Amino acid sequence: MQQQVQDKNAASLQGRDVLTLLDFSPEEIYALLQSAEELKAQQKEGKCPQLLAGKSLGMIFENSSTRTRVSFEVGMTQLGGHALFLSPRDLQIGRGEPIKDTAKVLSRYVDAIMVRTNSHEKVAELAEHADVPVINALTDWYHPCQALADLLTVKEQKETLKGLKTAFVGDGNNVAHSWMIACAKMGMDVYVATPSGYEPNEEVVKEVEEIATSTNSKVVLTQDPVEAVKDADVIYTDVWASMGYEEEQTRREESFKGFQVNSDLVNNAKDDYIFLHCLPAHRGEEVSAEVIDGPQSVVYDEAENRLHVQKAILAATIK
């Protein structure tokens, strides 16, 4: 019966956009995680089911990428499909073609569109006009694919999700938004420690708090990293100046003093805590080398899981 329910949840994702995890139920998220686990296990055995033979993915990148581009492209190939890398220089959208026209035309060529851009509004508009699934591979507001890989990593390491305490220390950015949503959806407590002025978006916080009420989990915002990390099972951080904010680097370094994840800070967590970072990382800034390169860091497992999660998303959404 449980397998039938999971299969039903996975089947319900066909043709769906993946713009933010706010749009997915806990059951649907769990189904994606289970699919990722199964695809990962099959790959380790040298098996790659050709679930998307003859299918194509259009990948629009307006920002540079390592993990996102490689994981989606390799994932599509392993599933028997084909991926096309499309930069603004390659598309007429880079010369001012309306997003609606790009969406309509690409929908005639490919079976799904993946987009990485600074503007969440642009991804939402593309999804509004596209006739195929649109996958958000990072915007200024959300990074849902990363959050799914984070959940998979925690599940592998802790064997459970519900009831864990997680701490996000640093900038209340797109990664923090999606991590908060993911935690609340799966019944994990999430503490977010940011300097004043760098808190997560208020609208996102309200939505997360509503979710947390239904899953009996906690959402706590604080300016005290020690409070956030105390007895935490999971500690997460990201760069202090995300893409698009590089010109604020010097000012942010000053604002984020005291928010580095280092040995002194993690000593407040549980002895068996794990450390997450979406990468790329700046050692000596948001995290010390001894933490990110230490035995409780699982950042490379986390990065690998981007591949397995992308495959699960593609297999579930492409018709």
From CA 49, how far away is CA 243, in angstroms rounded? Answer: 35
Q: Is 90 annotated as contributing to ligand binding?
A: no
Active site residue 140: no
H/E/C letters for each residue in 231-263? Answer: CCCEEEECCCCCCCCHHHHHHHHHHCCCCCECH
Residue 277 C-alpha from the chain's centroid: 11
Separation between Cα atoms, residue 85 and residue 70, nearest integer Å: 10
Establish whether 16 is an annotated binding residue: no
Considering the candidates 69, 143, 277, 308, report the single residue annotated as catalytic: 143
Q: Is 92 annotated as a binding residue?
A: yes
Q: What are 317's strand-pairing partners?
A: none
Q: Does 183 appear as a known binding residue? A: no
144 is known to lie in a ligand binding site: yes
Q: Can 306 be counted among the known catalytic residues?
A: yes
Q: Which of 171, 177, 278, 308 is catalytic?
A: 278
DSSP state of 62: S
Q: Which is catalytic among the residues 78, 306, 308, 310?
A: 306
Residues forming a β-bridge with 15: none
267 is in an annotated binding site: no
Measured CA angle at 69 (ends 299, 116), to 5 deg: 100
User: Which entry of 6, 34, 146, 310 is annotated as an active-site residue?
Assistant: 146
68 annotated to a ligand binding site:
yes
Q: Determine if residue 252 is labeled as part of a ligand binding site.
A: no
How far is C-alpha 182 from the chain's CA centre?
9
Q: Is 251 annotated as a binding residue?
A: no
Active-site annotation holder among 116, 120, 177, 308: 116
* 177 in a labelled binding site: no
Options 238, 252, 277, 310, the catalytic residue: 238
Please tell me whether 174 is known to bind a ligand: yes
Task: Give catalytic status of residue 146 as yes or no.
Answer: yes
Tell me whether residue 279 is annotated as binding: yes
Report the sign of the C-alpha dihedral through residues 42, 48, 50, 54, in that order. positive
Query: Where on the phi/psi map is residue 237: left (φ > 0), alpha (ψ -120 to 50), or beta?
Result: beta
282 is catalytic: no
Q: What's the Rg (C-alpha) of the chain?
A: 19
Binding residues: 65-68, 92, 116, 143-146, 174, 238, 242-243, 278-279, 306
Binding residues for carbamoyl phosphate: 65-68, 92, 116, 143-146, 278-279, 306
Binding residues for L-ornithine: 174, 238, 242-243
Q: Which residues are the active-site residues?
A: 116, 143, 146, 238, 278, 306
